[in-house]
Amino acid sequence: MQELDLMGLKCPLPALRTEKALAALPAGSRLSILADDPLAPLDMTHLCNQGGHALVSATPLSGGGWQFVIRRG
């Protein structure tokens, strides 16, 4: 599983970089994303719904932010 560290980036950069990373992966691959933008949970959900991907998990991090796991559709 690839990991994408987007900590410190603000909307819309986390969603745009996630979309670009997913496009480079084969269908069924998983991508782990770390992001601390307050809108990241909403943006990642929207990105998955629009792109046909599956949001496998959205886990809050103890130091702030989130870890998302997305399976490419």
Exposure string of 9-43, with b = 16+ CB inside 10 Å and e = fewer, is: beeeebbebbeebbeebeeeeebbbbbbbeebeeb
Active site residue 48: no
Active-site residue, selected from the candidate residues 9, 11, 55, 58: 11
CA distance 42 to 34: 14
**Run of H or E including 55:** strand 54-60
Catalytic residue set: 11
